[in-house]
Amino acid sequence: MSRTVRIIRTGPQALVQDLGRPGNAHLGVPPSGAVDPRSLKLANRLVGNPETAAGLELLLGGLAVEANASCTIAVTGPAVAVRVNGRLADSHHPVHLRAGDTLEIGTPGTGLRTYLALSGGVDAPEELGSRSTDLLSGIGPDPLRDNDVLELGPPNPATGADVVPPHEAPPALVIPIRLGPRDDWFENAETQLRQGSWTVSDRSNRVGTRLGGTKLNRRDGEIPSEGMITGSVQVPPDGQPVVFLNDHPTTGGYPVIGVVDPDHLRFLGQARPGTEVRFRPVDWASGSLT
């Protein structure tokens, strides 16, 4: 018999996400996948799934589901209230649901994205090797709606109780950035980046974290479209930088002043509108990020 859960309410946005479909940029296909992959991997480990299993990525929490079969779940990301049949349960810890139990996830006090892993993983059809919803291209499952029923895969034996720390989403971020490939479009690119300050715009989404603040002065014009990687900091003519996240277009025509290291992108992906952002250019010669 198939194991399923029913979505009672999605909250502001609920998407199926795994680790995405990198390696298809030459076809115009974005990598997609969880914006905070660390939190999704931890949630999967807590319920005995491989780290690559698909779970749900929730914007500002708010999800409620009913289990139609026994399953183990874990909620990760920023600290958030979790209730089973109305009674408080732990986040960042495996929780067992019996058939008929209702799970409700509150709104996190900080951060943006909550992850829910379910034992067996969400068994949506794969597209280009991934179950992730790509909001730019429309590849993968549609965003979830109330009353959707999700199939779960076969569960693995439990790995034993474990606890992981919540994601810390501070009100101000200092993000290491490596200059290039188009820093020569900017006068004193390093100084402009180091001295500027920005806040996360409410127009940010899975395509990119949009920043508002110091105008980055650049040459006029456009580059013939060129390939872009996740973490690229693209600067349109208005000088307000956009940091590309997982659903970014694979090519673009605005100069990229620098690239954020993959390990630091999740902090931008978890940053609420209004979060302060500064950049710390990293010396290429030093090699390592601290």
Partner 1 sequence: MLLRRCGTDALLVEVDSLTEVAAVRAALHGLDGIEELVPAARTVLVKGDLHGIRAALKTVDLTRVPATHPREITIPVTYDGPDLDLVAETAGTTADEVVELHTAATYEVAFCGFAPGFGYLTGLPEVLRQPRLDSPRTKVPQGSVGIAGEFTAAYPRATPGGWRLIGRTGITLFDPRSETPALLQPGDQVRFVVA
**Min CB(182)–partner 1 separation in Å:** 7
**Min CB(205)–partner 1 separation in Å:** 17
Does 251 interact with partner 1 (rule: CB under 8 A)?
yes
Phi, psi of 173 (to 5 degrees): -120, 145
Three-class DSSP category at 247: coil
Does 160 interact with partner 1 (rule: CB under 8 A)?
no
Residue 81 to residues 10, 54, 72, 151, 226, Cα–Cα distance (Å): 16, 22, 17, 25, 44
Does 87 interact with partner 1 (rule: CB under 8 A)?
no
**Min CB(136)–partner 1 separation in Å:** 9
Three-class DSSP category at 235: coil
Q: 81 or 128: whose CB is closer to partner 1?
A: 128
Phi, psi of 125 (to 5 degrees): -65, 140
Does 127 interact with partner 1 (rule: CB under 8 A)?
yes
Does 245 interact with partner 1 (rule: CB under 8 A)?
no
Residue 264 to residues 222, 231, 254, Cα–Cα distance (Å): 28, 9, 22
Does 125 interact with partner 1 (rule: CB under 8 A)?
yes
**Burial of residue 202 (number of CB atoms within 10 Å: 0-12, 13-18, 19+):** exposed
Among 111, 140, 166, 269, binds partner 1 (CB under 8 A): 140
Among 157, 160, 165, 224, binds partner 1 (CB under 8 A): 224
Number of residues counted as binding partner 1 (CB under 8 A): 37
Piece of the chain touching partner 1 by CB under 8 A; list 8-16, 106-114, 180-188, 210-218: 180-188
- Cβ–Cβ < 8 Å for 247, 215: no
Piece of the chain touching partner 1 by CB under 8 A; list 65-73, 77-85, 120-128, 195-203: 120-128
Nearest-CA neighbor of 132 among 120, 140, 122?
A: 140
Rounded distance between C-alpha atoms, residue 22 and residue 61, angstroms? 26
Does 52 interact with partner 1 (rule: CB under 8 A)?
no
Nearest-CA neighbor of 241 among 288, 287, 279?
A: 279
Among 143, 153, 239, 249, binds partner 1 (CB under 8 A): 249
Among 38, 178, 272, 278, binds partner 1 (CB under 8 A): 178
Does 246 interact with partner 1 (rule: CB under 8 A)?
no
Q: Which amino acid is at 77?
A: G
- Cβ–Cβ < 8 Å for 46, 77: no
Does 255 interact with partner 1 (rule: CB under 8 A)?
no
Q: 53 or 259: whose CB is closer to partner 1?
A: 259
List binders of partner 1 among 11-30 (CB under 8 A).
Answer: 22-29
Rounded distance between C-alpha atoms, residue 251 and residue 31, angstroms? 12
List binders of partner 1 among 89-118 (CB under 8 A).
Answer: none
Three-class DSSP category at 265: helix
**Min CB(283)–partner 1 separation in Å:** 12
Does 241 interact with partner 1 (rule: CB under 8 A)?
no
Quickly tell me which residue has 């994205």 as its tokens. 113
Rounded distance between C-alpha atoms, residue 119 and residue 131, angstroms? 16
- Positions that interact with partner 1 (CB under 8 A): 22-29, 125, 127-128, 137-140, 178-182, 224-229, 231-232, 249-251, 256, 259-262, 284
